[in-house]
Chains A and B, each alone.
Chain A
């Protein structure tokens, strides 16, 4: 069974530019998460979806971050405009009970 797929794996952009990350969850998992992981820290939740509904987005900086999960499967996380402090690893996870993570997208903002 395929795991959580994320792309791109790495992204380098200049500050103030937009960036988007894509996630394809494990088939049948209706709960999808986006986490942020800073260096030397554990993942922290940005947003959680149950099917296509965002049920917990309290930690998502809504002035620059947005996310969508059309049709309740794939999801996209966008940052516009990116700031230097957004450099981190963006992890997608999916769940039917236990959470399984993708490999992450490592973002560097210069």
Chain B
């Protein structure tokens, strides 16, 4: 079993929909949680990071962490075709300077 499991894609939604992307993790030592967006043939781009349980909001994006259930979510409001990409969740044991453990990614397609 992988340390970080991510919902398989592809996920197809109409423009304007609310998107929910999810991961679960198994290692209680993970304290640091990140979401990356990766466009085709590009490197992962950091979207959001958080150290604690609860919600963190940045524009149309909200990251949610529930350490008690080891569950990580990313919500995208008012989704746009430009949001079409692969979304990777990642976790780490401290500030993130150690290696991150990534999920396998969920491919999102927002239909205009």
Contacts and interface: CB of A to CB of B under 8 A. Distances in A.
B88 interface: yes
Interface residues of B, number: 23
- Chain B contact residues: helix, strand, loop or mixed: loop
9 contacts: A40-B105, A41-B105, A42-B6, A42-B103, A91-B44, A97-B95, A97-B96, A100-B46, A101-B45
B11 interface: no
Contacts of A33: 99
B100 interface: yes
Contact of B102 (A40, A42, A50, A95): A42
A102 B36 CA distance: 13
Interface residues of A, number: 24
Given A97-B96, A98-B34, A103 B103 contact: no
A101 B104 contact: no
A104 interface: yes
A42 B88 contact: yes
B44 A101 contact: yes
A106 B41 contact: yes
Given A42-B90, A104-B43, A97 B97 contact: yes
